[in-house]
Chains A and B, each alone.
Chain A
């Protein structure tokens, strides 16, 4: 059973702080990793993807991937109340060339306090 695990939270951080969201996955052959943000009652919105080990930065967001540890994280710098949402980690199911099926974690609820 391929799994993606996330701490359900809620994770509460003060405004301006760094929020760190973590995700582990079970299938060592996974190739692509995604972070989606989902506001309550809305559908998920893709915010970051990462394919290679290391860090990938986009504005206030940094995704970190460590394939050896089967671990992917999302850092949000200078957190804002508008960042309060559930963050879903998603992992592509191999093999490459598949239809891009993703397995989603259950999500971490982030609350940024003003």
Chain B
């Protein structure tokens, strides 16, 4: 149980374009999903918390107009990187909580590696 998928697993885009990443909980309903970013040899950095049916909560320093998050259903959250720049190249990972399994453990998707050229 507690399987989270992401699509695509990797993407290359040109500077100035937008990229959408999908995060799905496959066998449970996730009222809350999280989006992280990880640069090489660094730890996970939480970008935002995505709540089904409401606006996402962004961490300090994360531009909400650049990283658009939509959590339209209990099994799907999307992150759109708008007007991508090379410095947005990173490993983007989503996670989800299964509210039936415990207080706060999170299950991670396999990640999406974004390269902006």
Interface of A with B (CB < 8 Å)?
31-32, 34, 36, 42-46, 49, 51, 88, 92, 96, 98-102, 104-107
Contact = CB atoms under 8 A, between A and B. Distances in A.
B110 interface: yes
B25 interface: no
Contacts of B49: 99, 101
A107 B43 CA distance: 7
A32 B107 CA distance: 15
Contacts of A32: 103-105
Question: Number of contact residues on B: which range applies?
Answer: 20 to 34
A77 B32 CA distance: 35
Given A44-B44, A107-B43, A100 B107 contact: no
Contacts, number: 56
21 contacts: A31-B104, A32-B103, A32-B105, A36-B108, A43-B109, A43-B111, A44-B44, A44-B108, A45-B108, A46-B105, A46-B107, A51-B103, A88-B43, A88-B44, A92-B103, A96-B103, A99-B32, A99-B51, A99-B97, A104-B44, A106-B42
B84 interface: no
Contacts of B97: 99-100
Given A42-B110, A43-B109, 16 more contacts: A31-B103, A31-B104, A32-B103, A34-B105, A43-B110, A43-B111, A51-B103, A99-B49, A100-B32, A100-B97, A100-B103, A100-B105, A101-B104, A102-B104, A104-B43, A107-B43
B93 interface: yes
A46 B106 contact: yes
A81 B34 CA distance: 31
Nearest to A102: B106
Given A49-B105, A92-B104, A101 B46 contact: yes
Contacts of B1: none
B43 A105 contact: yes
A101 B36 CA distance: 11
Interface string B88-117: 000101000100001111111111000000
Interface string B64-87: 000000000000000000000000
